[in-house]
Structure 1
Amino acid sequence: MQVARIATWDVQHVAPDDPLDKAISLMEEHRIRHLPVLEERRPLGMISDRDILLAVGWRLEVDRSSSFGGKSVGPRWIHEIMSIPALRVEPTRRIADAARTMADCRVHALLVVEDDILRGLVTSTDLLRHMADFPDARFDRPISEKMHVNIRAVTRSAPLYQASRIIRGAQIRHLPVLDDSTLVGVVTDRDLRRACGVEAIANELAQVSGDLCVSATKVEDIMSGPVETLCEASTIRDAARLMVTRRIGCAPIVRNGNLIGILTDTDCLRLLAQGPRA
């Protein structure tokens, strides 16, 4: 099956000289996480919610303005933080090829481009939705066959830098939060990017006024919870469906309330990339 079957064609986009506020507004209005950056209809790059979270903590320019002179801190324009170049895929390429590119390059969206003109966008959510609906026996296998069992985790009282160190060191995007072996939340790279962005802006604003901003943020202050979970008898298709409906990037697997494994969106993409039938 080709990318054209699942791609989004009516795509919101921005220009490199547009303000970050416009990107934030478009993402919130349309509940999207990626915006192609275009000059006329030709793609230059991509900006994601992760880029904005890390740069400004998802704060509009008015919320980043100092009371001393009213000057805003942090980047203001799309071109300052956008990713160049954005990865592309042709509409006639197989869905499996798009999944492989996303998994290998650790991205969640590809520009659908033909003759150097943007035609659409395909995201990891589009691919997961395909997995949830497409009749392929591989997706009906038990989740226990693909889940990670050697799990990195933190406690809810851990300082933010500890979670950041684990996520960066292990090159993961989802970190379970445990009380003993009981799952109480998940902290993601998005959560960390938002926290880091907020702290960076707070530090800059503090410096403008001659103050010092000292953070005491803990994991429990930014984690998501309670967490939707699956059991080990659930299928990979169940996990894909959960990620799509809940707009999350991982499915924790529990037994008697205790965390025993985790399956991520990247794991699903790698499985999708393997098979010629999808």
Structure 2
Amino acid sequence: MQVKEILNQKGRDIFSVTPDSTVYDAIAKMAEYNVGALLVMENSNLKGIISERDYRNRVILEGRTSKTTEVQEIMTKDVIRVQPTDTVNLCMQLMTEKKIRHLPVVDDEQVVGVISIGDVVKTVIAHQKSEIDSLRNYIGGGYPT
């Protein structure tokens, strides 16, 4: 399974803020779209990602205020990204090793979507269910002729 299959099922919505947006505006947007992270984009260039974890670690725990702090001050700048042709297994490995929950999908330096750990888990479960159903049908003699 490849990342593009996840994007084809879930859609390619990209929720983002600019580097000079306030953290408050970013958090409000996360709440509006019910997401845990936003890409930080300048024009069509990926500059970083801001997550709930960034907010916790770099605003709340450092005593900053979300209405006066800009996203660029707290965003993660070294963004781990994947390509549409990368495998779901690679995504699981990256998310586990790097302890991240969101991966921008980039094709020729253009952001084409974002996948979350929930998207990956849902895809893996659906694939495993399909394989189990096929094996049950085969064992039970219900395979196609």
What TM-score range do you get, normalising by the shorter chain? 0.7 to 0.9
Please name the residue that 2:36 is paired with.
33
Could you tell me the percent identity over the aligned residues?
A: 28
Please name the residue that 1:2 is paired with.
2
How far 1:56 sits from its partner (Å)? 3.1
In 1, are the aligned partners of 2:59 and 2:74 still within 8 Å (CA)? no
The two structures, once aligned, show a CA RMSD in angstroms of 2.2
Q: AA paired with 1:131?
A: V
**Ranges in structure 1 where 5+ consecutive residues have no aligned partner:** 62-71, 140-278
Residues 18/47 of structure 1: CA separation in 2 closer, same or farther (3 Å cut): same
Q: Secondary structure at the match of 2:16?
A: coil
1:226-259 CA-partner distances (Å, limit 9, x unpaired): xxxxxxxxxxxxxxxxxxxxxxxxxxxxxxxxxx
How far 1:130 sits from its partner (Å)? 1.4
Runs of 4+ in 1 over 3 A off after TM superposition: 136-139
Please name the residue that 2:73 is paired with.
80
Please name the residue that 2:46 is paired with.
43
Q: Secondary structure at the match of 1:89?
A: coil
Q: AA paired with 2:31?
A: E
Please name the residue that 1:147 is paired with.
none
Q: Secondary structure at the match of 2:21?
A: coil
CA distance in 1 between counterparts of 2:58 and 2:119 reads 27
Whether 1:19 and 2:22 are equivalent positions in the alignment is: yes
CA distance in 1 between counterparts of 2:66 and 2:70 reads 12
1:162-220 CA-partner distances (Å, limit 9, x unpaired): xxxxxxxxxxxxxxxxxxxxxxxxxxxxxxxxxxxxxxxxxxxxxxxxxxxxxxxxxxx
Residues 56/138 of structure 1: CA separation in 2 closer, same or farther (3 Å cut): farther
Q: AA paired with 2:77?
A: I
Match of 1:90 among 62, 66, 83: 83
Match of 2:95 among 102, 105, 113: 102
Residues 11/24 of structure 1: CA separation in 2 closer, same or farther (3 Å cut): same
Whether 1:131 and 2:124 are equivalent positions in the alignment is: yes
Q: Taking structure 1 as the reference length, what is the TM-score of the superposition?
A: 0.42
CA distance in 2 between counterparts of 1:55 and 1:102 reads 21
Q: Which has the larger radius of gyration?
A: 1
CA distance in 2 between counterparts of 1:53 and 1:104 reads 21
Please name the residue that 1:222 is paired with.
none
How far 1:27 sits from its partner (Å)? 0.6
CA distance in 1 between counterparts of 2:93 and 2:71 reads 28
Q: Secondary structure at the match of 2:46?
A: strand
How far 1:137 sits from its partner (Å)? 8.6
Q: Taking structure 2 as the reference length, what is the TM-score of the superposition?
A: 0.78
Structure with larger RCO (C-alpha < 8 A, sep 6+): 2
1:112-165 CA-partner distances (Å, limit 9, x unpaired): 0011111100110101111332235999xxxxxxxxxxxxxxxxxxxxxxxxxx
How far 1:54 sits from its partner (Å)? 2.5
Please name the residue that 1:118 is paired with.
111
Q: Secondary structure at the match of 1:43?
A: strand
Aligned residue pairs: how many? 126
